[in-house]
Structure 1
Amino acid sequence: MTDQQRVAVLQEPERMTVETRPVPTPGTGEVQVAVRAVSVCGSDVHYYDHGRIGGFVMHAPLVLGHETSGVVSAVGEGVEEPAVGTRVAVEPQRNCGRCEQCARGRYHLCPWIAFFATPPVDGSFAQYVVVPAVRAHPVPEALSDDAAAMIEPLAVAVHAAGKADIGPGARVFVSGAGPVGLLCLQVAKARGAAHVSVSDPVARRRDKAREFGADTVLDPAEAGEVGPTDVVLECTGVQAAIDLAVAATTPAATVVLVGTGAEVTLPLDLVQSRELVLKGTFRYAHVYPAAIALAASGAVRLDAMVTSHHDLDGAEDALLAARRDPEAIKAVVRP
């Protein structure tokens, strides 16, 4: 194996280059992964467009990409599993393991967490990455490399559905039919939801929601009835969508905020008078094995969400895919 690799780097908003950098070497407790697929996330696009997401700001060139699959190509000292040659889905976060949040099992809330493609931590638009061995999750042959990369956004949906405690018979409203919304729809169905409604202002996305099993689709611009709702999974972070989602609730419903947005207001009169349970989500923890099992069972269709493939030289095209093609759902970079 060569000691150099090619890496796609965001130099500044709307300017990508491909560089040659040293191949990273795994340390104690780490594995090196030869990257096979990286699916593009909305956060990657946001950094490309603006160079920041909220308080996370680029101050130096950044390697994007965090939805990653590959093959273990080398292991560090003390690592027995996963062994070299194992296909894995990469959980792209490294926590300190010593703080109160880590001790309580909430490692995704570790104040010192390092997350791929979140400044200043480089991501996986590269040929090789190094991660803690415990964050390289073996995947079965039933999952393609593309599907294994999308275990990461599926983990977001699994974590959100767990926060909502969706069970058999639940009436669920998913606000937003982007990739995470479509995954939340499928996870809700897999958990036994009796009826799932999906709202999105884009007709093609509403069509996609139907394809992925939505019982009802709605255009938020029209005065349509959402119907009784026990659980809301709000996947946009947009004020108008949040207002619609909260208004759709029945008393004692749970509203889970999945989408990331700027400051918004909440109708506290409804939150209080209906005794709504309002929950935030931030990434995920302890859900990769469940997400992998769910995808391998066929209950969630990941490959069907892939709409284009790109090499490292086409990483910028992957980031622009959704802007150029209204039917695009997931672009995948194959280093």
Structure 2
Amino acid sequence: MKVLQIQSPGNFEILEVDPPIPGPGQVLLKVLAVTTCPHWDMHIFDGQPMFPGVPLSYPYTLGQPGHEGCGEVVCCGEGISEFHPGQRVCMWRDSGHHVQGCYAEYVVKEAWELVPIPDDARPEHWAPFELAMCVSVHIQLAEKLDLVQGRSVAVSGLGPAGLICIQLLRCAGAASVAGIDPNPMRRRLALQAGADRVIDPSDPSFASLPKRGQKGCFDTAFDCAGNPKAVSAAMKMTSSLVVLFAVQREPYIFTPDLWGGLMLAGAQPHTREGALYARDRILTGGLDLSLIVSEVMPLGDYSRAIGLLKSQQALKVAFIP
């Protein structure tokens, strides 16, 4: 089978290797589509760890960092009865980068990491399903705190996660959703995703938006940018909860004026419950992952895909191995 391997920063090869064999509790999948996880791909391809301080060595693990995929069951290992050959599934969990990834024609997954999807599902539109699960568990947290339904919500950072977040907030009954991003293309996509309004943080009027304690401030905010300035602005404009979804690489400063009533929530555990939550909303039409897939191309065009991600000409790229 063909599999991508990053040999060194900026260099990759498509190798020919034997397909993996599923063990007990595992499933062999033919990968129908796999999408980039932009920050993972850009960091690993550039020789930078995704998380500060984590050791990084090359050649990188076969098929990695590909972990968002849709596939078709080829065969099952011992003890698997819930899946059958020919069935379409999505991978809801990143198995880790110590095992072969999904930038390959075939991959082995633990059965419990898969959820069934319709036979007529378009693979490239379902491939980002793992990200939908990641966002869903954060929406579920805010729902448990009764800070979504009927509330005014802001989403800062309108990349793939932000656009999923907007759609899920609409499904969850938010009274209003505002999208914040300096990129005009992404602001337009946010309106397509269901945002009531979009805001350019580089516009001078941004500084005059209502602050905490003032009429018209946000009840809840989701940070999908990971930028300290964006997080600071979200905290100053939000009365109750700021959910820090994006990977944090720099300190966020909680200033004295924020004391009293504001909750901060960091990354939430990834769960099958979150995966089923996302799948239900896709099946009922509330969540459309095709909105975040900008390009479809063969795996051999990996370098071109990275360039599109870096220039923000693409949100995600889907590969057909």
Same fold (TM over 0.5): yes
In the aligned structure 2, how far is the partner of 1:255 from the partner of 1:270? 15
Mapping 1:206-221, distance limit 5 Å: 206-221=187-202
Q: Number of matched residues?
A: 304
1:17 aligns with 2:3: no
1:178 aligns with 2:159: yes
Matched with 1:59 is 57
In the aligned structure 1, how far is the partner of 2:288 from the partner of 2:235? 28
Matched with 1:277 is 263
Mapping 1:89-100, distance limit 5 Å: 89-93=90-94
Q: Secondary structure at the match of 1:7?
A: strand
Q: Does the CA-based 8 Å contact 1:143-1:295 persist in structure 2? A: no
Matched with 1:101 is none
Mapping 1:1-335, distance limit 5 Å: 5-42=1-38, 43-53=40-50, 54-62=52-60, 63-93=64-94, 114-115=95-96, 118=97, 120-141=98-119, 143-165=121-143, 166-222=147-203, 223-224=205-206, 225=209, 227-250=216-239, 253-273=240-260, 275-282=261-268, 284-286=270-272, 287-324=274-311, 326-335=312-321
In the aligned structure 1, how far is the partner of 2:107 from the partner of 2:54? 22
In the aligned structure 2, how far is the partner of 1:282 from the partner of 1:128? 30
Q: Does the CA-based 8 Å contact 2:93-2:270 persist in structure 1? A: no
Q: Does the CA-based 8 Å contact 2:75-2:85 persist in structure 1? A: yes
Shift of 1:261: 2.5
Q: Does the CA-based 8 Å contact 2:80-2:111 persist in structure 1? A: yes
In the aligned structure 2, how far is the partner of 1:121 from the partner of 1:278? 33
Q: Over aligned residue pairs, what C-alpha RMSD do you find?
A: 1.7
In the aligned structure 1, how far is the partner of 2:307 from the partner of 2:55? 20
Identity of aligned residues (%): 30
Matched with 2:213 is none
In the aligned structure 1, how far is the partner of 2:269 from the partner of 2:35? 16
Q: Does the CA-based 8 Å contact 1:232-1:249 persist in structure 2? A: yes
In the aligned structure 1, how far is the partner of 2:202 from the partner of 2:249? 21
Q: Structure 1: where are the runs of 5+ without partners?
A: 94-113
Q: Secondary structure at the match of 1:52?
A: coil
> 1:181-224: CA deviations, max 9, x gaps?
11111111110001011111111111111121111111112232
Shift of 1:15: 0.9
TM-score by length of 2: 0.90
Q: Does the CA-based 8 Å contact 1:309-1:318 persist in structure 2? A: no
Q: Secondary structure at the match of 1:291?
A: helix
In the aligned structure 2, how far is the partner of 1:25 from the partner of 1:308? 31
Q: Structure 2: where are the runs of 5+ without partners?
A: 211-215
Q: Does the CA-based 8 Å contact 2:65-2:101 persist in structure 1? A: yes
